[in-house]
């Protein structure tokens, strides 16, 4: 058995502390970030934990009834073969590998194998266009691209960017082919299945320092072009806060509903469950189907669930009584969870739905942790290991109840879950100031220490001298059962006043038409303060989103501004004033 290194032992010790902590207060008091110099999570932790371990590490399933279970020891061996395969293809320490893949057993092998081989991992959305692929190869200084066979044509169309690559690797089914059109100065596609011919033991010939870059995530936030967020090899140590928020234990089967191109997948589908030594479950589907997801949760006896608000909206209309669930814990993040949805989730399952907050740039930094009371409208309290304050523009702490920016201290101790930096010097100057990391998110903290999210700093706007938080307006509109997703932006009305506009994606059983718009406007008038009521709504089939699944309000604003410039309205855009008679009649009743 591999000997545990001195630095790895520090990780094991902190991991064991978090796994066995009895209260939030105990966690905060006893949690101390270790000083780690040399650390490769895949080699120094995973392989040590996995060797000879016949417990199931991963359950992969699809909605056609296929599945595969892989033990920890099998995953150790499989990833070793991948590491040897990559090294043989010429991957060197520091080479960046972009993955454009669906969830699969292979993507887990690759995460570990790339780590072991010394590469840095860039997850990519499978929705990227050829132009997007080209941009990411160039701006990310990518050396290898790994893609499932169906995404190969889009990579092939990335043009001159392919000249920069050392290798292209195609992941395919046995019945599929991955033919390579020979192009001068462009590497030919290599069959990923060739890794099966390599040795299942692996020896590294280099030192991995904890500061070496491990993950790079493209994130555009909601207001800017994509930027690369860099996380080093101690990033998995930082996700002990995520493991604590999820409340994962070794006997759990954890399911995180997320796509591999998002940082959230790395958080909750990969690192956190294996930090806890529990089973990760992943489900492949072409389109989300709530019934099939619930059937899978029953079949594979999921004990821990991480699902966003939009999923809970879809679950709400389903009959949970026909399933024999093993659920014991549930969390949600990334979207506002209003009290009605929380109550609905608890009524359906008998389990408290706990919120969490973090960014592509961080790990779980604020959350409702195990055993903590849920406070309506709050995302929870500061995570162990983090010092988070609500600061004003001068970086002075604001009074309880007053809005400010969520900031994390990086001095004298920087949390191991925080990004090293962006690959953008100007942006780094804006986010690292005076010993703080500035999240760009607005919130307030109440007298009990609970933090209440308001919105992105750049998204909050004034309307008729009132401060409007899109997040707050969205939280109220999404309570309508017809609404699956909503995005709110400032627009200009016919009197040149700044007013809110709501873009809405409806649940499948509802139709975008005038009657539906009237129902939404009635709901808004009955449930929202007049100053923050959207004066127009527009139905959309889907939203433009960032790689971390946040609505790109900048794109919605650009679209709306283009309509205004051309004096046009959207195909399914409706204005409150169009319904003046119906709404006024209803108010008089």
Q: How confident is the model at residue 427 (pLDDT cuts 50, 70, 90)?
A: confident
**What percent of the chain is predicted at pLDDT more than 70?**
96
Q: Rounded distance, CA 86 to CA 137, Å?
A: 18
Q: 111 falls in which pLDDT band (50, 70, 90)?
A: very high
What is the reported pLDDT for 17? Answer: 98
Length of the chain: 589
Same topology between domain 1-32+239-384 and domain 387-457: no
Q: Are 334 and 284 in contact (CB under 8 A)?
A: no
> Mean pLDDT in the chain?
91
pLDDT at 465: 66
Least confident of 94-103, 121-130, 453-462, 511-520: 453-462
In this prediction, residue 581 carries a pLDDT of 86
> How many other CB atoms sit within 10 Å of the CB of residue 527?
12
**Predicted TM-score of the model (pTM):** 0.86
Quick one: pLDDT band at residue 222, thresholds 50, 70, 90? Answer: very low
Pairing mode, if any, of strands 329-333 and 304-306? parallel
CATH class belonging to 70-233: alpha beta
At 49, the pLDDT band (50, 70, 90 cuts) reads: very high
What would the DSSP string read from start to end of 155-218? HHTTGGGGGG-SEEEEE--TT-------BTTBPPEEEGGGGGGS-S-----S--BTTSEEEEEE
The average pLDDT across 225-252 equals 95
**Which residues contact residue 347 at a Cβ distance below 8 angstroms, ignoring those fewer than 6 apart?**
none
Q: H helices then E strands: how many in the chain?
A: 19, 28
Q: From CA 275, how far away is CA 584, in angstroms rounded?
A: 57
Backbone angles phi, psi at 327, to 5 degrees: -55, 135
Region class of 133: left (phi > 0), else alpha (psi between -120 and 50), else beta: alpha
Domain boundaries, the chain: 1-32+239-384, 70-233, 387-457, 461-588
- On the question of a cis peptide bond just before residue 368, with omega within 30 degrees of 0, the verdict is no
Is the domain covering 387-457 a CATH 2.30.38.10 domain?
yes
| For range 354-367, the mean pLDDT | 95
The domain 461-588 is placed in CATH, from the list 3.30.300.30, 3.30.56.10, 3.40.50.300, 3.20.20.70, at 3.30.300.30
Integer Cα distance of 267 and 273 in angstroms: 9
Predicted confidence at residue 588, as pLDDT, reads 41
pLDDT higher than 80, residue 529: yes
DSSP-derived letter for residue 45 is I
Summarize pLDDT for 67-99 with one digit per residue, the tens: 999 999 999 999 999 999 999 999 999 999 999
Question: Rounded CA gap, 533 and 521, in Å?
Answer: 9
In CATH, the number for domain 1-32+239-384 is 3.40.50.12780
Task: Using alpha carbons, select from 404, 484, 478, 468 the residue that is nearest to residue 436.
Answer: 404
- Per residue in 134-160, pLDDT (tens digit) is 999 999 999 999 999 999 999 999 999
C-alpha radius of gyration, the chain, whole number: 24
- What pLDDT is stored for residue 420 in this prediction? 96
Mean pLDDT of all residues in 161-171: 96
Give residue 582's pLDDT.
85
Residue 277: left (phi > 0), alpha (psi -120 to 50), or beta?
Answer: left
- Is the Cβ–Cβ distance between 336 and 474 less than 8 Å? yes
pLDDT value for 185: 86
* Averaged pLDDT for residues 98-111: 98
Range in 68-82, 109-123, 560-574 the model is least confident about:
560-574
Q: Are strands 483-492 and 466-468 parallel, antiparallel or unpaired?
A: unpaired
Q: What share of the chain in percent tops pLDDT 90?
A: 72
pLDDT (average), residues 328-332:
96
DSSP state of 399: P
pLDDT of 223 over the 50 cut? no
């Amino acid at each position: 058995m591999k000997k545990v290194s001195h630095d790895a032992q520090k990780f094991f010790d902190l991991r064991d502390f978090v796994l066995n902590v009895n209260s939030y207060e105990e966690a905060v008091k006893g949690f101390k970030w270790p000083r780690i110099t040399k650390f490769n999570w895949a080699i120094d932790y995973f392989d040590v934990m996995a060797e000879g371990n016949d417990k199931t590490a991963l359950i992969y399933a699809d909605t056609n009834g296929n599945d595969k279970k892989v033990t920890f020891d099998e995953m150790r061996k499989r990833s070793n073969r991948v590491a040897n395969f990559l090294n043989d293809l010429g991957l060197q320490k520091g080479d960046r590998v972009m993955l454009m893949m669906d969830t699969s057993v292979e993507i887990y092998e690759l995460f570990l194998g790339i780590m072991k081989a010394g590469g840095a991992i860039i997850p990519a959305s499978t929705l990227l266009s050829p132009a997007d692929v080209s941009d990411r190869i160039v701006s990310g200084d990518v050396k290898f691209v790994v893609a499932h066979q169906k995404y190969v044509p889009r990579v092939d169309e990335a043009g001159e960017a392919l000249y920069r690559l050392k290798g292209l690797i195609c992941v395919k089914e046995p019945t599929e082919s991955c033919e390579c059109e020979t192009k001068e100065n462009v590497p030919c596609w290599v069959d990923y299945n060739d890794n099966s011919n390599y040795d299942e033991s692996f020896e590294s010939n280099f030192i991995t320092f904890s500061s070496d870059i491990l993950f790079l995530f493209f994130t555009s936030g909601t207001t800017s072009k994509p930027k690369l967020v860099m996380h080093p090899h101690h990033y998995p140590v930082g996700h002990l806060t995520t493991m604590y928020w999820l409340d994962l234990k070794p006997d759990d089967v954890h399911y995180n509903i997320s796509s591999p191109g998002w940082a959230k997948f790395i958080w909750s589908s990969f690192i956190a469950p294996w930090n806890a030594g529990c089973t990760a479950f992943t489900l492949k589907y072409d389109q989300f189907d709530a019934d099939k997801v619930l059937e899978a949760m029953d079949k594979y006896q999921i004990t821990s669930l991480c699902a966003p608000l939009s999923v809970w909206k879809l679950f709400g209309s389903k009959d949970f009584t026909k399933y024999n669930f093993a659920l014991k814990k549930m969390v949600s993040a990334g979207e506002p969870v209003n009290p009605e949805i929380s109550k609905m989730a608890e009524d359906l399952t008998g389990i408290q739905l706990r919120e969490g907050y973090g960014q592509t740039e961080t790990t779980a930094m604020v959350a409702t942790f195990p055993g903590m009371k849920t406070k309506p409208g709050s995302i929870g309290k500061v995570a162990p290991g983090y010092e988070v304050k609500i600061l004003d523009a001068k970086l002075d702490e604001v009074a309880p109840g007053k809005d400010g920016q969520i900031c994390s201290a990086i001095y004298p101790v920087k949390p191991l879950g925080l990004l090293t930096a962006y690959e953008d010097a100007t942006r780094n100057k804006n986010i690292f100031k005076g010993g703080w990391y500035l999240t760009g998110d607005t919130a307030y903290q109440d007298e009990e220490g609970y933090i209440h999210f308001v919105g992105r700093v750049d998204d909050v706007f004034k309307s008729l001298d009132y401060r409007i938080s899109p997040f707050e307006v969205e939280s109220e509109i999404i309570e309508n059962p017809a609404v699956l997703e909503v995005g709110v932006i400032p627009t200009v009305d016919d009197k040149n006043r700044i007013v809110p506009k709501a873009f809405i994606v409806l649940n499948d059983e509802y139709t975008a038409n005038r009657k539906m718009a009237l129902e939404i406007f009635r709901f808004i008038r009955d449930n929202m303060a007049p100053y923050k009521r959207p004066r127009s709504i527009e139905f959309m089939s889907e939203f433009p989103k960032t790689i971390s699944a946040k609505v790109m309000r900048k794109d919605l604003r650009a679209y709306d501004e283009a309509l205004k410039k051309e004096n046009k309205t959207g195909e399914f855009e409706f204005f409150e004033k169009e319904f003046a008679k119906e709404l006024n009649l209803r108010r008089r009743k």
